[in-house]
């Protein structure tokens, strides 16, 4: 039986970030489409995780990518309309139990573009 991975998200002027919290993940598959993200993987115990998110707004799937670490898989997706805040990440106004806002990374946008650019460049190098 598969289950949903605990997922954190946060919003930035140009990108939306999703973090699927699975430690020691294997068989990671991330499909980023213009209106949807599909994630699946297994953890060290062989538990299967599967998440599907219909996105609040359109993203540029060609300018989106993911990065895996030992603790999680982070996706960053380029917004189609930049500098438009997303009040939520899901299309429907329903919050699944496994989804929450990443308050550690949630910031006011003022003067945040430099920070964001640095983050994206750091991800890109990996």
Digit-coded pLDDT (tens) for 13-44: 999 999 999 999 999 999 999 999 999 999 99
Q: What are phi and psi of 68, to 5 degrees?
A: -100, 140
Question: According to the model, what pLDDT value does residue 1 have?
Answer: 78
Tell me the C-alpha distance between 70 and 97, whole Å: 23
Yes or no: domain 7-125 corresponds to CATH 2.60.40.790: yes
Domain boundaries, the chain: 7-125
Question: According to the model, what pLDDT value does residue 116 have?
Answer: 72
Digit-coded pLDDT (tens) for 54-98: 999 999 999 999 999 999 999 999 999 999 999 999 999 999 999
């Amino acid at each position: 039986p598969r289950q949903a991975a605990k997922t954190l998200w946060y919003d930035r002027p140009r990108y939306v970030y999703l973090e699927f919290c699975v430690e020691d993940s294997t068989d990671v598959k991330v499909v980023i489409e213009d209106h949807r993200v599909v994630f699946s993987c297994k953890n060290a115990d062989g538990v299967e995780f599967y998440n599907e998110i219909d996105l609040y707004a359109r993203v540029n799937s060609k300018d989106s990518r993911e990065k895996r670490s030992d603790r999680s898989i982070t996706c960053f997706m380029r917004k189609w309309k930049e500098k438009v805040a997303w009040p939520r990440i899901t299309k429907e106004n329903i919050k699944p139990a496994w989804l929450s806002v990443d308050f550690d990374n949630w910031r006011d946008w003022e003067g945040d573009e430099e920070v964001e650019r640095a983050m994206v460049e750091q991800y890109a190098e990996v």
